[in-house]
Structure 1
Amino acid sequence: MKPDTAPSSVTPAEGLWVEGELVRDLMRTQRNTQSLGLLLVPVLLAMLWQDVPKAGLLSWALFTTTIAAVRFAVLRMYLRDVENAGAEAHIAFLHRWWPVWPASSVAWGLSTLLFFDRVPLQDQFVCWLALAGLAMFASVTLSSHLATMRLCLDALAVSALAAMAWRMGVELRLAGPVQHWWIVILLLVFWQVLRLTGLRQHLTLRKNYELQYRNNQLIDSLTRQTQAALDAVEIKNRFLASAAHDIRQPVHALGLYADWLGSEPEMVHEIAPKIVDATKAVNTLFDSLFDLARLDSGKIRLTIEPMRLDKLLHDLELQYRPLAEAKGLAFRVHAVPGTVTSDPILLQRIVGNLISNAVKYTHRGGVLVAARATSRGPRIEIWDTGVGIPAEHQREVFREFFKVPGHAGTEDGFGLGLYIVARLCHILGHPLDLSSRPGRGTVFRLLVTPTDAAQAIYRAASAVDRLRQGRLDPVGQLSVERRGAGVQAPQQPAPQA
């Protein structure tokens, strides 16, 4: 027996759940239905005992109680194996055992052979009243599953009409009283009324379960959104606490240097560089904050155009070489001529953040920035001989506010640099690959595939939507590959490209 067909507007998952609940509702009513049917068997036996051949009456009673016993056995199997299972198990169970319901209806319909035009009218009336009560009870209790209800009503009506046709056509040869035909007409009308009533009852139940499913989905969605909002508040609280701590250090240093300079102006040449360094630290922190705010608000502006890759790297060299040499690090740049299609400002921000990290976490050796031509397109590589990133943290470093435990230098930032890199790489469509070994160094490889402006705008907007829903995973958006043990970063300063 096939499940009821769900409306076209219902999703497959919703249709399956609703169908399972309708079957569950059907099975919940079966014990009461069976009990009522069994109670009526001795009533009919007592009423017809004096007027009906005993063999036929007992045969009917045996057949009816056997079917009832089978239904009770099916109900016990359901309670034992299926009651707590999912929708698919409920539907499969009904599909396997559906014949027992119309079989019971046939047994009761055949009782018409025992009393129709064979017993006094008052006994016939009581028997017809019992059948009508069973039929109405079936239309109500079985209406949760439309196909089952229709099969039972049809089996009951057709078997009763067949018994009446045998009596009227074969045994009486259509010579019976005219009220026989009125009974047939009333039976046909009653049959159709019950089918229509059962259909309306079924549609009401189905709508209720569909509404319940959608309410549950809405509650789950609201729960997830509420949790996402609470998580966002917690993250922002941690962020504000971290920001206050990180900004306080250089600002406090600026205050001390200013007081020192006021009391000892002759030391201006010694104090001025320290003030400049503290100011740069504050500017760097605020740059990260502004980048994060633009990404989270979706107000980032994209200008996709061709640009010279070698010029980009040489501009960055002018910016970061003094920082590297001030730490005693070798800084080399090797760039092949060529053009790439991307946003010049954002691409410079990505590569600049990666170079800044390389310089920050390298204490001896050097940094190499190289551009290479590959079969997939130009690729920018940033090599360093720094502290490296342990394998268990190589995904986490791209998450918001994450700082590798025990890394010297992490106290100087928010843990936003690589998070912003991940977000920008996703927007521009530039896959990023990370390889690192603790104590040996790290290499980032950025494949500068041509950026499609429309796709970039769509990715930026969708990232903001997922952020608001608490589902943004910058690592999942990137093609970030971990090769913690596969590639060895250079030991010597800046290997030749």
Structure 2
Amino acid sequence: MKPETVPPPHLAAEAQWVEGELVRGLMRTQRHTTWVGLAMAVIVVGVLWTDVPPVRTLAWLAIAAVAAGWRWWVLQRYDREVVHRGTGEHLDFFRRHRFVWPFSALVWGLTAVLFFDRTSLGDQYVCWLALGGLAMLSVNSLSASLPAMRAYLDTFAATALAVMLWRMVAELHLMGPPYHWWQVALLLVFWLALRQGGRRLHETHRRNFELQSRNSQLIDSLTRQTQAALDAVEIKNRFLASAAHDIRQPVHALGLYADWLGSEPELVHELAPKIVESTKAVNRLFDSLFDLARLDSGKIRLNIATVDVAQLLRELELQYRPVCEAKGLEFRLRVQPGTAVSDPILLQRTLGNLVANAIKYTQRGGILLASRRGARGPRIEIWDTGVGIAPAHQREIFREFYKVPTHGGTEDGFGLGLYIVGRLTHILGHPLTLHSRVGRGTVFRLLLEPTDARAAQERAVASVAQMLPGRPRAPSPLRGPAT
């Protein structure tokens, strides 16, 4: 088979589903036709009882009872084992029990042995009428399955035709009345007409189920597109909430510098450079937010470079010291010179969120921002003397929009700061650890292992799916026990 002739997987799945629905449609009609067949058997026996030796009639009736019992057993088993199962089970059941219908047709075709050229023309007419009606009813009930319908009609016609020809040739030696041949011709025409009508009825059934399948696929496609649009809106809302969350701290610091300048103009030479630097920090943060928007779309290009750790921490001090001191807290900085390989903007964003989070949940004492050397690279630590985080919440805090219910100060936040930290540390490949004691404080340690640009880009693209509602979330970024 040429490769282009292989049906696409979705078409093969649709074809199997349609076949399963056709089998279901066939089986739904069989209980009714079984009762009609029993009624027809009673009528035929009643018509022929006085004209045919009882032994022949009873023998045929016994065979008919076996056929009816077989069909009834198949229906009971279908209702008990298959009716509520999948397409594959329906198709397999039909393949295993498909011979029950040709056997029923064989029994009805043998009816000609009882009446053809052996009873009055009136009785023969009634019997042919009953057989014709039963054949048309069977075509209607079996047309959902073209093989089953054809097997029934072909067996029925072949059996009746064989009985007629045996009577005409072997017993009457072609000396019977001429209308026998017209009856044979009528039987052949009737058989071909039923076959043609059954095929058209089957095509109608098949088209209906194909349309139903495609309508279902269209609805699923529209549902997915609608969900994609809702996801896009959710990502936009999440970005706006993140922007509002992260812009607050540098703007607050800028406002404090401006207030000090207004109340103490003589400090202009001291405060003006800080205002300029805070403005630059705001601009850098806006750049960071735009980078995050690209990150959420999976199209960001990470800028992996050598980062001066000491300079990075001093920029964070400039941004957060006034906020810390305005709250009556002490801000301490301990720096050991060193460099790291990372994205400077995203790394600053990560550390800024950790410092801002420490300030928010510390009411007395202070904050320590420190860098230390290690065998695997520089390590940055953020200490606070705040409320601490209970063990039950130490992994949950990295979930999106999660707020520790017992912490004061959560009502004015969005629950995004540590979520962003977790996501960015995962992308950059910087292990994060947490140690906290309730009522004593918390320390976050970020190990600045060198960031591999290609691996970081792959993690950035993979993380987009985790941003969408209903998708599996990334595990907590904590390395080791969070205790």
TM-score (norm 1): 0.71
For 1:164 and 1:228, how far apart are their aligned partners in 2?
Answer: 68
For 2:241 and 2:302, how far apart are their aligned partners in 1?
Answer: 32
Q: Which amino acid aligns with 2:18?
A: V
Q: Secondary structure of the equivalent of 1:108?
A: helix
Determine if contact 2:41/2:61 at 8 Å carries over to the other structure: yes
Q: Give 1:475's aligned residue.
A: 474
283-292 or 411-420, larger mean C-alpha shift: 411-420
For 1:359 and 1:260, how far apart are their aligned partners in 2?
Answer: 23
288-297 or 321-330, larger mean C-alpha shift: 321-330
CA RMSD of aligned residues (A): 4.6
Determine if contact 1:291/1:420 at 8 Å carries over to the other structure: no
Q: How does 1:416-431 map to 2 (within 5 A)?
A: 419=420, 422=423
Q: Which amino acid aligns with 2:416?
A: G
Equivalent of 2:454, from 431, 436, 451? 451
Specify every segment of 5 or more residues in structure 2 that has no aligned partner in the other structure, as ranges: 1-5, 322-330, 359-366
Determine if contact 1:397/1:403 at 8 Å carries over to the other structure: no
After TM superposition, give the deviation of residue 281 of structure 1 in Å.
6.1
Equivalent of 1:349, from 345, 354, 377? 345
Q: Which amino acid aligns with 1:91?
A: L
Q: Give 1:367's aligned residue.
A: 371
Q: Give 2:101's aligned residue.
A: 101
Equivalent of 1:331, from 321, 327, 335? 335
Q: How does 1:223-372 map to 2 (within 5 A)?
A: 223-230=223-230, 232-233=232-233, 236-237=236-237, 240=240, 243-244=243-244, 247=247, 251=251, 254=254, 257-258=257-258, 261-262=261-262, 264-268=264-268, 272=272, 275=275, 279=279, 282-283=282-283, 285-296=285-296, 300-301=300-301, 312-313=306-307, 315-321=308-314, 323=316, 327-332=331-336, 347-356=343-352, 363-364=367-368, 366-368=370-372, 372=376
Relative to 1, partners in 2 of residues 1:391 and 1:16: Cα closer, same or farther, differing over 3 Å? farther
Q: Which amino acid aligns with 2:208?
A: N
390-399 or 65-74, larger mean C-alpha shift: 390-399
After TM superposition, give the deviation of residue 108 of structure 1 in Å.
0.9
Q: Give 1:397's aligned residue.
A: 398
After TM superposition, give the deviation of residue 295 of structure 1 in Å.
3.2
After TM superposition, give the deviation of residue 274 of structure 1 in Å.
6.8
For 2:74 and 2:452, how far apart are their aligned partners in 1?
Answer: 64
After TM superposition, give the deviation of residue 56 of structure 1 in Å.
0.9
Determine if contact 1:333/1:370 at 8 Å carries over to the other structure: no
Q: How does 1:400-419 map to 2 (within 5 A)?
A: 415=416, 419=420
Q: Which amino acid aligns with 1:14?
A: E
After TM superposition, give the deviation of residue 436 of structure 1 in Å.
4.0
Q: Give 1:170's aligned residue.
A: 170
Relative to 1, partners in 2 of residues 1:93 and 1:431: Cα closer, same or farther, differing over 3 Å? farther
Q: Which amino acid aligns with 1:141?
A: S
Q: Which amino acid aligns with 1:79?
A: D
Q: How does 1:16-165 map to 2 (within 5 A)?
A: 16-165=16-165
For 1:360 and 1:117, how far apart are their aligned partners in 2?
Answer: 104
Q: Give 1:195's aligned residue.
A: 195
Relative to 1, partners in 2 of residues 1:143 and 1:485: Cα closer, same or farther, differing over 3 Å? same
Percent of pairs with identical residues: 47
For 1:291 and 1:193, how far apart are their aligned partners in 2?
Answer: 72
Q: Which amino acid aligns with 1:36?
A: V
Relative to 1, partners in 2 of residues 1:53 and 1:162: Cα closer, same or farther, differing over 3 Å? same
246-255 or 117-126, larger mean C-alpha shift: 246-255
Q: Secondary structure of the equivalent of 2:139?
A: helix
Q: Give 1:495's aligned residue.
A: none
Q: Give 2:212's aligned residue.
A: 212
Q: Which amino acid aligns with 1:155?
A: T
After TM superposition, give the deviation of residue 165 of structure 1 in Å.
3.5
Cα deviation 1:3-39 (Å, max 9, x = unaligned): xxx9766445434433332222112111221222122
Cα deviation 1:354-409 (Å, max 9, x = unaligned): 4545666673473347685xxxxxx887666677896866487375x666777899
Determine if contact 2:371/2:381 at 8 Å carries over to the other structure: yes
Determine if contact 2:242/2:416 at 8 Å carries over to the other structure: no
Q: Give 2:481's aligned residue.
A: 485
For 1:320 and 1:41, how far apart are their aligned partners in 2?
Answer: 97
After TM superposition, give the deviation of residue 448 of structure 1 in Å.
4.0
Q: Secondary structure of the equivalent of 1:485?
A: coil
Q: Secondary structure of the equivalent of 1:83?
A: coil
Q: Which amino acid aligns with 1:184?
A: V
Determine if contact 2:249/2:356 at 8 Å carries over to the other structure: no
60-69 or 251-260, larger mean C-alpha shift: 251-260
Q: Secondary structure of the equivalent of 1:223?
A: helix
Determine if contact 1:435/1:444 at 8 Å carries over to the other structure: yes
Q: Which amino acid aligns with 1:415?
A: L
Cα deviation 1:218-245 (Å, max 9, x = unaligned): 3234334434544554564565466557
Relative to 1, partners in 2 of residues 1:9 and 1:206: Cα closer, same or farther, differing over 3 Å? farther
Relative to 1, partners in 2 of residues 1:424 and 1:124: Cα closer, same or farther, differing over 3 Å? farther
After TM superposition, give the deviation of residue 55 of structure 1 in Å.
1.4
For 2:175 and 2:111, how far apart are their aligned partners in 1?
Answer: 22
Q: Which amino acid aligns with 2:148?
A: T
For 2:352 and 2:91, how far apart are their aligned partners in 1?
Answer: 61
Determine if contact 2:425/2:431 at 8 Å carries over to the other structure: no
Determine if contact 1:367/1:383 at 8 Å carries over to the other structure: yes
After TM superposition, give the deviation of residue 111 of structure 1 in Å.
0.7
Q: Which amino acid aligns with 2:90?
A: H
Q: Give 1:492's aligned residue.
A: none
For 2:177 and 2:8, how far apart are their aligned partners in 1?
Answer: 51
Q: Secondary structure of the equivalent of 1:484?
A: coil
Determine if contact 1:143/1:202 at 8 Å carries over to the other structure: yes
Q: Which amino acid aligns with 1:484?
A: G
For 1:420 and 1:71, how far apart are their aligned partners in 2?
Answer: 68
Relative to 1, partners in 2 of residues 1:35 and 1:361: Cα closer, same or farther, differing over 3 Å? same
Q: Secondary structure of the equivalent of 2:211?
A: helix
Q: Secondary structure of the equivalent of 2:454?
A: coil
Determine if contact 2:139/2:198 at 8 Å carries over to the other structure: yes
Relative to 1, partners in 2 of residues 1:148 and 1:380: Cα closer, same or farther, differing over 3 Å? farther
After TM superposition, give the deviation of residue 435 of structure 1 in Å.
4.5
